[in-house]
Structure 1
Amino acid sequence: MTDENPRLRWLLRRGMKELDIVVTRYYEHHFATASETERAAFVSLLETAEEPDIWAWVMDYAPVPPQYADVIRQFRVHV
């Protein structure tokens, strides 16, 4: 896959290996076909959310904020 956005590729690198895998799989398999709203939510999540929060949402340990619901649902597909 040719990466058109090196900054976004850099943001895929999280502090947890498990999250690295989940967000990279999402990016490689779903990002290009996601809606503009979902892509914006994904970028926002990478820029603002903390790793423990993202992991808690993916694992359904904590309620998912509405703005990230579609992205987290897709993350669960790529776990």
Structure 2
Amino acid sequence: MFTEKRYNRLKWACRRGMLELDVLFLPFVEEAFSDLDAEKQETFERLLTCDDPDLFAWFMGHQKCDDPELAEMVKIILDRVKV
């Protein structure tokens, strides 16, 4: 369960050094995070611990994420943006 403090830390972690990632993560956490089940919320939190160059490569399609859970979360976020 995400407490308000943990959720606020998560929102802070969404602020990256790259605009391309910021425009994906912050709207996602504000608008869709609460709709995820607990397991996917944990996966999203883990995704935010990854390095920005890896995240950029995964989200821009330059590289495939080897972790299946993280790859699924990348897909969820990208699918939401395409809608």
State the TM-score bracket (shorter-chain normalisation).
0.7 to 0.9
Cα distance in 2 for residues equivalent to 1:43 and 1:58: 16
Question: Unaligned stretches of 5+ in structure 1?
Answer: none
Q: What's the CA shift for 1:70?
A: 2.2
Q: 2:78 aligns with which of 54, 76, 79?
A: 76
Matching of residues 57-76 of structure 1 within 5 Å: 57-64=58-65, 65-76=67-78
Deviations 1:26-71 (A, max 9, x none): 112211001211110110111x200110111111111122120221
Question: Corresponding residue for 2:17?
Answer: 15
Q: State percent identity of aligned pairs.
A: 32
TM-score norm. by structure 1 comes to 0.83
TM-score norm. by structure 2 comes to 0.79
Give the conservation status (yes or no) of the 8 Å contact 2:57–2:63. yes
Is 1:50 the counterpart of 2:51 in the alignment? yes
Give the conservation status (yes or no) of the 8 Å contact 1:41–1:67. yes
Give the conservation status (yes or no) of the 8 Å contact 1:38–1:70. no
Higher relative contact order (CA 8 A, sep 6+): 1
